[in-house]
Amino acid sequence: MRLAIMLAMAMAMAIAAASTPAWAKDLPVPFVGCRSDGQTGPLAAPRNDDHAPKVPAQLAPRLAWYASNTTGGVLAPRGWRCFELYGSNGSVLMLSPTGLGADPFLAKLIGPAIQVSISLGDTSGRFEAARIAARLFPDRKAFVQSVIAEGIAPRSQFPFGPYPYDSIQRFNRDYVTFETPAHREGLGTMTRLRPSADPIRGLVWMDTDNNATVLAVRLAPAQRNLSDYIIRAMTPR
């Protein structure tokens, strides 16, 4: 009897798998390695990465997984260009359709772009991490106050409370998603992305060591439906 039930279940699963339309299945996306430069000099692009996600089949031809040596990886439209900057304060991975100009250290991202940054809370990155914490995470007030108390950066650089025009969705004490509207300053423009005619979406989270990770995504209207999958792929598990 048990064998018959098991065979029936196996047959049902096989039929369900066979009947799933191709467009409903998740597929892998290509890997693209990103070169780096920073505190100890240039680094070659990584050749592979084990964290590349699968995406819905109808979107797979439009996306690739871009990964760097320090910051990690992020989904972005295929054909984009990427570069990572790194140092003792943390790292930043920048992507755009056209590249970052002659000097990535001075890059300002005006049009479609994606940035992933990590600010380390126990190095000089603590100043940026504290600015983020002051804006978003009330439970981190003691950390912010400790950075202010050092007297290295003025208190005015650490305003408490969200940007007035940002939309924020809080998932827990350490993780939020956000949208900075077009032509406005906000969390999205705390990065190298400058205000433009398109909104900036993304997510921010902090870990137990007060390291702050920020993902900022700005896509052209024709690609904007990719934002959900880019953000979902970066969401901390």
How far is residue 82 CA from its own chain's centroid?
Answer: 13
Closest listed residue to residue 68, CA positions, set 53, 84, 80: 84
At residue 10 the predicted structure's pLDDT band, cuts being 50, 70 and 90, is very low
Within 99-211, strands assigned E span: 113-119, 167-172, 175-180, 200-206
Residue 73, strand partner residues: 67
Residue 7, pLDDT above cutoff 50: no
Q: Percentage of the chain surpassing pLDDT 70?
A: 89
pLDDT in tens, 193-235: 999 999 999 999 999 999 999 999 999 999 999 999 999 998 8
Average pLDDT for 132-152? 97
Q: What does the block give as tokens for 16?
A: 């369900």
Give the angle subtended at the CA of 187 by the CAs of 177 and 137, to the nearest 5°. Answer: 65
How far is residue 47 CA from its own chain's centroid?
Answer: 20
> What does the alpha-carbon distance between residue 106 and residue 112 come to, in Å, rounded to a whole number?
17
Residues with Cβ within 8 Å of 188's Cβ and at least 6 positions away in sequence, in order, are 166, 178, 179, 180, 199, 200, 201, 202, 216, 218
**pLDDT given at position 9:** 36
Closest listed residue to residue 233, CA positions, set 82, 57, 52: 52
At residue 52 the predicted structure's pLDDT band, cuts being 50, 70 and 90, is confident
